[in-house]
Amino acid sequence: MCERAQTLRLPRATVPSVTHVESSPGGLRADGDRWRWVALGGYAAALAGLTLAPIGWRLNRLTVRLYVLFRYDVPVAPGWAGPEQYGDLLNVLLYVPPAFLLAGTRLRWWGALLVCVAVSVATELTQELVGRQGEVGDVVCNATGAVVGVLLAGLLRRRARRRPAAGRTS
């Protein structure tokens, strides 16, 4: 009981604050690490369900619906873009979030890319086992999305580092 009372009386400055922990170059940030790993785990589960479930026909229908929507209903798509290009775009977008999240961990940018490409290759190989068609083009699109995710993370990190320096007046 006495130890507990002493612990509660510690000055606030001696209690480490998660928001003030500095990150090492390329290291984990204590203030955002937990949510990053939770988000990665949730995304990995959703990615596995989406890419390994026997729902290829439904995904094809979604791609065609998006094509019709953006080509005819809300005509913002270029004339040369067909349903195949929409499928490619969806494959690119699929790997932006995990690469973005991985780029904020201890992994270097190239490590995040390697993890994403390895997961993409494993996914395409596994799709053959569950009755779906795995394609090399999908791996290329997924890798492109991983590059976009890593670049976005790097740009945001660079911007965050510059912001405090720009606000100093001394």
pLDDT in tens, 126-150: 998 888 888 999 999 999 999 999 9
- Residue 73 resides in a domain: yes
DSSP state of 75: -
- Residue 120 resides in a domain: yes
Of the listed ranges 14-18, 23-27, 51-55, 142-146, the least confidently predicted one is 14-18
- Residue 5 resides in a domain: no
The answer to whether the predicted template modeling score (pTM) of the entire model surpasses 0.75 is no
The residues near 154 (Cβ < 8 Å, ≥ 6 apart) are 103, 109
> What pLDDT score was predicted for residue 32?
60
Kindly indicate the confidence band of residue 158, based on its pLDDT and cuts at 50, 70 and 90. Answer: confident
- Residue 96 resides in a domain: yes
pLDDT tens string 54-84: 888 898 999 999 999 999 999 998 889 999 9
Residue 98 has pLDDT above 90, yes or no: yes
| Nearest CA among 121, 113, 77 for reference residue 96 | 113
Residue 152 has pLDDT above 60, yes or no: yes
Can you give the residue range of the structural domain that contains 108? 32-160
Write out the DSSP string of 79-125.
Answer: TT--HHHHHHHHHHHHTHHHHHHHTTSSS-HHHHHHHHHHHHHHHHH
- Residue 86 resides in a domain: yes
Residue 19 has pLDDT above 60, yes or no: no
Distance CA(43)–CA(39), nearest Å, equals 6
The residues near 155 (Cβ < 8 Å, ≥ 6 apart) are none
Q: Which two tokens stand for residue 93?
A: 């977008």
How many structural domains comprise the chain?
1
- Residue 10 resides in a domain: no
Q: What is the mean pLDDT of the chain?
A: 81
Distance CA(108)–CA(112), nearest Å, equals 6
Higher pLDDT, 17 or 27: 27
- Residue 93 resides in a domain: yes
- Residue 84 resides in a domain: yes
